[in-house]
Structure 1
Amino acid sequence: MTGTRSAPAPALAVVGATGAVGSVVLRILSQRADVWGDIRLIASPRSAGRMVAVRGLETEVLALSEDAFDGLGAGDVALFLTPPGVSAQWAPAVTARGAVAVDQSAAFREDPEVPVVVPEVNGHAVRVRPRGIVAGPDCVTATMIAALGALHADYGLADLAVSSYQAASAAGRAGTQALRRQLSLVAGTSLGEQPGDVRRVVGEDTGPFAAPLALNVVPWSGELREGGWSSHELAVRSQTRRILELPELPIAVTCVQVPVLEGHSLTVRARFEREVDAGQARKTLETAPGVVLVDDPAAGEFPTPVDAAGTDPAWVGRVRASLDDDRALEFFVCADNLRKGAALNATQIAELIAGEFA
C-alpha cells in the first residue's frame, strides 16, 4: 500500500524578535494553531545569544546576518519587525533563497509590486507578490480597516475623514519609556498656574514626540511633507486606498498623539455611494471578521483603548448616522496597536502564505 507523505511544516524566522512588536509576535505564536516547523529568532547583535521562550521551548536569538537565513527556502517565511532601513537591506536576503518576506515597516508599502495586506479585508492579495515580499499596513490604518472594509463591501465607500488618537507605544519602547518618565515628572507637581508649566517640568526631553506627551495632546506624527501634511497622515491615506483598491478615494487624515500607553483610537466619518442605515451598519459590523461591536452609550458601553489592550479585534462603537448626509456614517474604533496593529496582522499574513504550501 502506498501513501502520500505530507510536506514538512514551513520554517518561520522572526526578525526583530526582541523588540516591542517581536515580543508580541512570540506570545501570539503560543496562542494560535501550530503551523510552523523550525522557528528561529533573529535580532541585532546586542541581543544575540539571549534565550527566549517560544511555544514553551527556550530558543537562542541569532544575530542578524546572512547566516541567520541559511536553510530557508520555498514555503518558508520571514517576518520583519524592524525599522525600514533594516527591512530594505535584509528582505532581499530572504527572497533570494525562495522564501517570502513579510515586512511590517514602511520600507515597501509604496512599492506597486508589494501588496499591502490585511487578511480580513484583502487576504487574496497575498498570492500576488512579484518581489516575494508582502507588507503590512501601519498600526493606524490597521486599526480601522477591517470595519471600513466590511462597510465598503455593503455600501461602497466614497469619501473618508479620520482623526487618530495614537498611543505612545507606536514609537516602540522609546515611546512608552518617554511617557512614563514624563508622567513621573509631572506627578504631584503644581501645574496650570503659569503658561507652559508642563513644558517647564518636562524640559527638552520629549523623547520621540514633537512635544511633551504627558497631560497633553500632540497633533503631529511623522515628518513634514508638502502642504503641511505629515508623512504618517499621507501614509494612512495611501495604504487605505491600496488595501480597499480605491486609488482615487478622497481621504482626510489628522494624526494625533495622546498620553495613552497602548491602544490606538480613531474617529471616522465615512461617506458611501448608497444611503446607509445605522442599524443595518451595526449588523454589518457585528459579523465583520476582526471586529467587535460595543455600542450602547445609554448603558455606558463603548470601546476604549483600555478595553482593546491585549486583544485581537478592532473594537467599534458610537455608530451613528450623519446629521447632514443620509449616505454618511460616523463611528469610533480602537485596537491594540502592537497586537492588532502590527504583530497579529503580520502573523496572519505569514499563516496565509504557509497555507499555500500545506
Structure 2
Amino acid sequence: MGYKVAVVGASGNVGREMLTILAEREFPVDEVYAVASERSAGSEVSFGDDKVLKVQDLAKFDFTGVDIALFSPGGKVSEQYAPIAARAGTVVIDNTSQFRMDPDVPLVVPEVNAEAIAGYGRKNIIANPNCSTIQLVMALKPLHEVMPIERVVVSTYQSVSGGGKEAMDELFNQTRAIYVNDPIKKEQFTKQIAFNVIPHIDVFMDDGSTKEEWKMTVETKKILDPQIKLHATCVRVPVFVGHGEAVNIEFMDELDEDRAREILREAPGISVVDHRVDEGYVTPAESAGEDSVFVSRIRQDPTTDNGLSMWVVSDNLRKGAALNTVQIAETLVESYL
C-alpha cells in the first residue's frame, strides 16, 4: 500500500533533504506533494533521480486525502497550518519547535522512544526534536538503559546550516569578504561567524541560558527521563554541516569505558569510531551526508565519581532533522496506520 505524502517547506534545506531521503529509503508513496510559501510556489524541486515536483502554495493547498505531511516551514507557519492539516485527517510530523513540549504531542526519536508514536491520535501531530537533542539522546539512551544517568553536561559545536540557507550564505560571504578585505556584514548572526565561534543560539532567557540550551534540557527529559539533570552550552561554529557535542555524563554507579563502548557499538543508529591515534575520531565534516550518530573519545572522567566523557557527531540536516522525520513516518506506517 502506498501513501500520499506532502513535504511542507519543500524549498528549504531540510525540506529538500526530506524529499531526498524519502526517495533513497523507498518510502511507500503513491504521490508526493512539494508545498511551500507563495514566494516559492511554481519553482521546482527534485524527488529521487528522475522526478521533478512543482512547488505548490501552502496557503492554497488542500490536505484532504493526504495521509502524512512532513513539516519544516518554520515555527509560526507550522503553528498556523499543522492543525489545519491535522483536522483534514493528515498525520503531521513537524520538524519545528512549535509543538515539542505540548503534552498531547509525542516527541520522538525512533531508536529511543518509538513507542511514544502511539499517542499521535490526540492531535494528529508528532514532533521531531531539536537537532542537537536528537544526537545527544541517541548516545545517552543505550547507556541509560544499562546504568541510569543522573547528570549530563554538554557543550555543542553547531554548524550554521542549523540556521537555514541564509545562515550558510552568511558564513560563505563573510569568509570571502575576509580574503578580499571587504567589510563584514552581519545579518543572520549577532557577531561575525567566519573564523569565529558564537556562544549564542536562539534568544536569551531570564536565567541567562539561551532557548537552544533550554530546548536540549526539556526535550531530553521528555524523550528519555524526566529525572536526568542536564546543563547545556550551545555554540555556533563556522562549519556548514554537522554538529559536534562534548558530553560529560555522571551515572548512578560506575560504568567502565570499555563496557560503554560495547553498549554503544550494539546500539541502533550509532557508529563508534574511537581509536587513540591521529584521525581516530569523527569530525562534523566527515559526518555530512551520513545517517549515523558517531561517538568517539570515550573515556573515564577522573574528577567525579561514575563519570564518562565522549564526543558525539552527526549530520544535523539528516539525522538531526530530515532522516529522523522520515524514520518517524516509517514507524507510523509500519505499526500504526
User: TM-score if structure 1 supplies the norm length?
Assistant: 0.90
1:156-198 deviation digits (Å, cap 9, x = unpaired): 1110100000101111001100000110111265xxxxxxxxx
The number of residue pairs the alignment matches comes to 335
Which stretch shifts more, 27-36 or 330-339? Answer: 27-36
Are the equivalent residues in 2 in contact too, given 1:35–1:354 (CA < 8 A)? no
Map 1:170-181 → 2, pairs under 5 A: 170-181=162-173
Shift of the 341–202 alpha-carbon distance from structure 1 to 2, 3 Å rule, reads farther
Cα separation, 1, equivalents of 2:256 and 2:308: 8
Per the TM alignment, residue 26 of structure 1 is displaced from its structure 2 partner at its CA by: 1.3
Where does residue 249 of structure 1 map in the other structure?
Answer: 228
Where does residue 111 of structure 1 map in the other structure?
Answer: 102
Letter of the 1:180 counterpart? F
Per the TM alignment, residue 71 of structure 1 is displaced from its structure 2 partner at its CA by: 2.1
- The answer as to 2:39 corresponding to 1:46 is yes
Where does residue 23 of structure 2 map in the other structure?
Answer: 30
1:303-342 deviation digits (Å, cap 9, x = unpaired): 1011101110111100001112341110001111111110
Cα separation, 2, equivalents of 1:224 and 1:133: 28
Counterpart of 2:286 in 1: which secondary structure?
helix
Where does residue 254 of structure 2 map in the other structure?
Answer: 275
Where does residue 219 of structure 2 map in the other structure?
Answer: 239
Which stretch shifts more, 321-330 or 266-275? Answer: 321-330
Cα separation, 1, equivalents of 2:86 and 2:271: 36
- The answer as to 2:115 corresponding to 1:135 is no
Map 1:236-315 → 2, pairs under 5 A: 236-244=216-224, 246-315=225-294
The counterpart of 1:70, out of the listed 59, 64, 68, is 64
Letter of the 1:324 counterpart? T
Cα separation, 1, equivalents of 2:196 and 2:45: 37
Cα separation, 2, equivalents of 1:109 and 1:342: 14
Pick the structure with greater CA Rg. 1
* Misfit runs of 4+, over 3 Å: none
Shift of the 202–259 alpha-carbon distance from structure 1 to 2, 3 Å rule, reads farther
Letter of the 2:266 counterpart? T
Where does residue 15 of structure 1 map in the other structure?
Answer: 8
Where does residue 226 of structure 1 map in the other structure?
Answer: 206
1:197-225 deviation digits (Å, cap 9, x = unpaired): xxxx654x223212101111111111010
Are the equivalent residues in 2 in contact too, given 1:276–1:326 (CA < 8 A)? no
Counterpart of 1:153 in 2: which secondary structure?
helix
The counterpart of 2:141, out of the listed 149, 156, 163, is 149
Where does residue 342 of structure 1 map in the other structure?
Answer: 321
- Stretches of structure 1 that go unaligned for 5 or more consecutive residues are 1-7, 190-200
Cα separation, 2, equivalents of 1:166 and 1:202: 25
Are the equivalent residues in 2 in contact too, given 1:121–1:243 (CA < 8 A)? yes
The counterpart of 1:352, out of the listed 315, 331, 336, is 331
Where does residue 208 of structure 1 map in the other structure?
Answer: 188
Where does residue 169 of structure 1 map in the other structure?
Answer: 161
Letter of the 2:277 counterpart? A
1:281-304 deviation digits (Å, cap 9, x = unpaired): 001111111111110022431010
- The answer as to 2:311 corresponding to 1:332 is yes
Cα separation, 2, equivalents of 1:238 and 1:77: 27
Shift of the 304–84 alpha-carbon distance from structure 1 to 2, 3 Å rule, reads same
Cα separation, 1, equivalents of 2:183 and 2:137: 36
- Overall identity of the aligned pairs, in %: 36
The counterpart of 1:88, out of the listed 58, 70, 79, is 79
Letter of the 1:68 counterpart? D
Cα separation, 1, equivalents of 2:180 and 2:39: 38
User: TM-score if structure 2 supplies the norm length?
Assistant: 0.96
Counterpart of 2:298 in 1: which secondary structure?
strand
Per the TM alignment, residue 59 of structure 1 is displaced from its structure 2 partner at its CA by: 2.0
Cα separation, 2, equivalents of 1:183 and 1:47: 28
Per the TM alignment, residue 137 of structure 1 is displaced from its structure 2 partner at its CA by: 0.7
Per the TM alignment, residue 46 of structure 1 is displaced from its structure 2 partner at its CA by: 1.9
